[in-house]
Amino acid sequence: MEDNEYERLLDRALSKASALAVQNADFVIPKVDSINEGTKTIVSNITVIADKARRKAEEIARYLSKELGVPVSIEGQRMIINGRFSYKDLDAKIANYFNTYVICKECHKPDSHLENAGRGMLYFVCEACGARYAVKNY
């Protein structure tokens, strides 16, 4: 193989690899849409967040309840948190949830699910790369 043919093939491979990197960057953690009403915080887009995470809204509510230390309930399409929290605090908690329980630490893709491992632990299973590791149950 000649040197310039090798360089041409290498350039072609690099151009395709950069296109793949752009495709993986499409996943964005959704922002919380919340309002404070009295002593409660209402999150109106919990179903959007749950759909993006491919998890149940009740699981995310249970995680937030434990993280915030207050009762959280789901009523229809909304999540009601007993306590006043800013959207910045909630965005940080949701981002932490996604980084721990949704996005794979190996391949950084959100294609995953959780399996019960017993004794307060869960198995994080990545459907994209096959990684499997234990995470603390929420």
Is residue 95 located within the same domain as residue 126? no
Q: How much is the mean pLDDT over the chain?
A: 91
Domain containing 113 equals 106-138
Is residue 53 located within the same domain as residue 114? no
Does residue 65 belong to any structural domain of this protein? Answer: yes
Does residue 75 belong to any structural domain of this protein? Answer: yes
Confidence of residue 20 (pLDDT cuts 50, 70, 90): low
Does residue 18 belong to any structural domain of this protein? Answer: no
Residue 129: alpha-carbon gap to chain centroid: 16
Is residue 54 located within the same domain as residue 84? yes
Contact 33, 45 (CB under 8 A): yes
Domain count, the chain: 2
Report if pTM > 0.85.
no
97, with CB counted inside 10 A (0-12, 13-18, 19+), is buried
pLDDT at 21: 53
Cross-strand partners of 73: 80
What does the pLDDT look like over 101-124, one tens digit per residue? 999 999 999 999 999 998 889 999
Structure tokens at 137: 């149950």
pLDDT at 1: 61
